[in-house]
Amino acid sequence: MFAPADKAQADDTAQSLAIDEGKKLYAVGCASCHGTGGQGTSDGPSLVGVGSAAVDFQVGTGRMPAQQPGAQVPKKKVVYSQAEIDQLAAYISSLGAGPTVPTEQQYSPEGADIAEGGELFRTNCAQCHNFTGKGGALTNGKSAPSLEDVDPKHIYEAMQTGPQNMPSFPDTTLSEQNKKDIIAYLDAVNSDDTESPGGLELGGLGPVSEGLFAWVFGLGALIAVAVWVAARTAKAKKS
């Protein structure tokens, strides 16, 4: 008679345990800015309804907890373990429904269309992140970070939740398959395994770094050569 209830209670307990632990972590690491109940303060936004995906992204990339106020909170060393991040996420999602952490099947680049992803990336992302996700400047000291070697899960979560200055791209805007395609494109053009067929990429930043390179190493080398040639005259004595 009590058996089914027991089972249900056991499930609840695991979940509520995680929430409890998460709440304790939250009180120590997050509450000073986001408020004791996640309602937000003048120093940090409300976390009600941001979902576990937002927590996993912000804490999992080291952006949160923030070090100092500024134009933007940068990526840094991750301070929580994945288990702790999951507990924090459980607590935050208990405050209100929001996007959840994607499963590996959702974000893995397997079986995605790279070319389609490239077109989507150039249409939706390149304005801020550059052609192949090398990053770019935004107003007043903010910036769109480089996407080189970012964990596919974090790319997926960023699209879902729109962290900081980024707009969010929910499934109604970019479908699950679209997100997968974009991740596959980034994996192809901007990761450790990416080949640059023409040689050094020079940061992949376009004509500014190319111009600098042409001046310093192209013309610089040629002037050095010119000095060398001019120093060798046909005179018998060499000074």
Partner 1 sequence: MSTNEKNESRDRGKAPSGERVADWADGRLGIYSLAKANMRKIFPDHWSFMLGEICLYSFIIIILTGVYLTLFFHPSMNEVEYHGSYVPLQGQLMSEAFSSTLHISFDVRGGLLIRQIHHWAALVFLAGMFVHMMRVFFTGAFRKPREVNWLFGFLLFVLGMFTGFTGYSLPDDLLSGTGVRFMEGAILSVPIVGTYLSFFLFGGEFPGGDFVARFYSIHILLLPGIMLGLVVGHLILVFYHKHTQFAGPGRTNKNVVGMPLMPVYMAKAGGFFFLVFGVIAAVSAIATINPIWAMGPYRPDQVSTGAQPDWYMGFSEGLIRVMPGWEVNFWGHTLVLGVFIPLMIFPLVLVAIAVYPFIESWVTGDKREHHILDRPRNAPTRTAFGVAWMTWYFVLLIGGGNDLWATHFHLSINSITWFVRIAFFVAPVVAFIVTKRICLGLQRRDKDKVLHGRESGIIKRLPHGEFIEVHEPLSQDALYTLTAHEQYEPAEIGPTVDENGVERKVKGSEKLRARLSKAYYGEESQIPKPSVEEYKEITSGHGHH
Of 4 and 198, which CB lies nearer to partner 1 in the complex structure? Answer: 198
Of 22 and 204, which CB lies nearer to partner 1 in the complex structure? Answer: 204
DSSP for 2-30, written as a single string: -HHHHHHHHHHHHHHHHHHHHHHHHHHHT
* Residues facing residue 41 across a β-bridge: 44
In 3D space, the residue among 61, 64, 50 whose CA is nearest the CA of residue 93 turns out to be: 50
Number of neighbours of residue 80 by Cβ within 10 angstroms: 18
Among 110, 141, 172, 192, binds partner 1 (CB under 8 A): 141
236 binds partner 1 (CB under 8 A): no
Q: What are phi and psi of 230, to 5 degrees?
A: -65, -30
Q: At which residue do the structure tokens 């990053």 appear?
A: 135
| Amino acid symbol at 239 | S
d(CA 132, CA 155): 14
Among 24, 75, 76, 122, binds partner 1 (CB under 8 A): 122
Of 78 and 202, which CB lies nearer to partner 1 in the complex structure? Answer: 202
Which distant-in-sequence residues (6+ apart) come within 8 Å of 220 by Cβ?
A: none
69 binds partner 1 (CB under 8 A): no
132 binds partner 1 (CB under 8 A): yes
Of 29 and 74, which CB lies nearer to partner 1 in the complex structure? Answer: 74
191 binds partner 1 (CB under 8 A): no
Of 78 and 138, which CB lies nearer to partner 1 in the complex structure? Answer: 138
- Give contact residues for partner 1 (rule: CB under 8 A): 71, 114-116, 118-119, 122-123, 126-132, 134-141, 143-144, 185, 188-189, 196-202, 204-215, 217-219, 221-223, 225-227, 229-231, 233-234
